[in-house]
Amino acid sequence: MDKKISALFDDYDGIVLDEEAGLFDPAEIKEMTMRKIQGSHAITNTRAVRRTGRTLLFAAIIASFLTLTAFAAGLSIHQKRQREVREQLNIDQNQVSDYVEPAVPGEDDSAEGVTLLSTINDGEFQNVFVNVSPVEPEEINSFGRRIENADGTASYYEFSFTRDNVNFGIATPAVLTGGAVSLDDLVAAAYDADSKTLTLQCACIDTLFPFDEDFALTLQLHRMTMDPDYSTEAELIRTFGTVTVHPTGATTRTILFDDPIPFENAVTGGKGQVIGVTLGSMDVDLLVTHDNMETIYERTALEGEALQDFMDEQLGWIRATDALFQGMALTFSDGSTRTGFGTLRSFYENGRVVNRCGLGSSTINISDVVGVTVGGVTIPVTRG
């Protein structure tokens, strides 16, 4: 279950153990993987569909399907996966200009190792899609699952990536299937048994470590063994190889409201305003101003009652802005809408608070937005 930033405060008990901070449980891997598909299916199309000419339409669809099937049969696993990632993200449909695809081998006998498929920036991460091979069935079948061993330990496999030889993150199966899916469905769609190839997504965080130049990305497979005391040892099973990634930018569109939308902190009674939104192909920012915002988002050394008051006010603002974000909708020129937002990160920048939400394994056409609804108020905008 995905947690919004406000929910994290509800679960926080004020204590973080050092030995727990570095633990990455398989359940978290599963949660992180499923989080990528959230938001992909929150588009509602309100257009009426004409039912005339169905026979010709069905015939055209069948002919198109047969043509695509014949075409796909001649593709290498790299070309096939590259096309599937592009289709899943709706790159062509949403006219996303920041999506980069290098040339990939056209022969399946070159599948072994690591092959770069594509890169896209979602405002927070450089999302790098790769194929790795060989991956054995038993390795992929245990992804996200803890296997209990006879000696009381537990094991699981973990795909990881390093940036310029520095440990950087966990690689997860790329989302290549639509609709509500289980982890098993997700893994099955990303794995090709014939070539033993797995398609992975590496989310390289951009905000903490800006990407100003090309970087080397190395993919590895580890077998993790966890003791009953939760200490974990990593056994390197395989290094697939290294690819050079050229970082991409993120084109955005900022819409500032002529008449800001007021809102209130229910805890303190403080006042705030929604001043606009910034749209990216894979993320949306809700832009607000409110009382004490500079103080709320700076690190401060407080103790006792002063610290508690500060945290209460901060939590009140986070909940207030998150409630606005969750009720927000984007309207497109064809009448369809996009909902399902929520604050995943908040920060103070350039005199305003930015509340950011990623769009999961999907994109939007930022130029096609014609309306923004926040706090029950719909703001018409001109196509950009």
Average pLDDT over residues 280-288: 94
Question: pLDDT value at position 90?
Answer: 94
Question: pLDDT value at position 330?
Answer: 95
| One-letter identity of residue 37 | I
Q: Which among 339, 331, 330 has a CA at the least distance from the CA of 47?
A: 331
**pLDDT tens-digit profile of 261-281?**
999 999 889 999 999 999 999
- 56-70, 86-100, 180-194, 330-344: least confidently modelled range: 56-70
Question: pLDDT value at position 142?
Answer: 76
Residue 59 has pLDDT above 90, yes or no: no
Question: pLDDT value at position 373?
Answer: 95
Greater confidence (284 vs 125) lies with 284
Entry pTM: 0.77
Question: pLDDT value at position 210?
Answer: 64
Question: pLDDT value at position 185?
Answer: 87
Question: Under a CB-based contact definition with an 8 Å cutoff, are residues 143 and 157 in contact?
Answer: yes
Question: Under a CB-based contact definition with an 8 Å cutoff, are residues 291 and 269 in contact?
Answer: no
Greater confidence (269 vs 140) lies with 269
**pLDDT tens-digit profile of 316-374?**
998 998 899 888 999 999 999 998 888 888 889 999 999 998 887 789 999 999 999 99
Instruction: Share the mean pLDDT of the chain.
Output: 79
Residue 146 has pLDDT above 70, yes or no: yes
If pLDDT is split at 50, 70 and 90, which confidence band does 257 have? very high
Tokens of 254: 């900022």
- Provide Rg for the chain, Cα atoms: 23
Residue 301, classified by CB atoms within 10 Å of its CB into exposed (0-12), middle (13-18) or buried (19+), is exposed
Question: Under a CB-based contact definition with an 8 Å cutoff, are residues 345 and 356 in contact?
Answer: yes
**pLDDT tens-digit profile of 295-315?**
888 766 778 888 888 888 888
CA distance 375 to 95: 29
Average pLDDT over residues 15-26: 36
Question: pLDDT value at position 206?
Answer: 67
Q: Which among 144, 146, 152, 136 has a CA at the least distance from the CA of 171?
A: 144
Q: How is the chain split among helix, strand and coil, in percent rounded to 5?
A: 25, 35, 40
Report domain extents, the chain: 75-245, 252-380
Residue 45 has pLDDT above 50, yes or no: no
Residue 50 has pLDDT above 50, yes or no: no
- 129-138, 229-238, 241-250, 300-309: least confidently modelled range: 300-309
Question: Under a CB-based contact definition with an 8 Å cutoff, are residues 246 and 119 in contact?
Answer: yes
Question: pLDDT value at position 37?
Answer: 43
Q: Which helix (H) or strand (E) holds 240?
A: strand 232-245
- How many angstroms from the chain centroid is the CA of residue 148? 30
Residue 65 has pLDDT above 80, yes or no: no
CA distance 66 to 84: 17
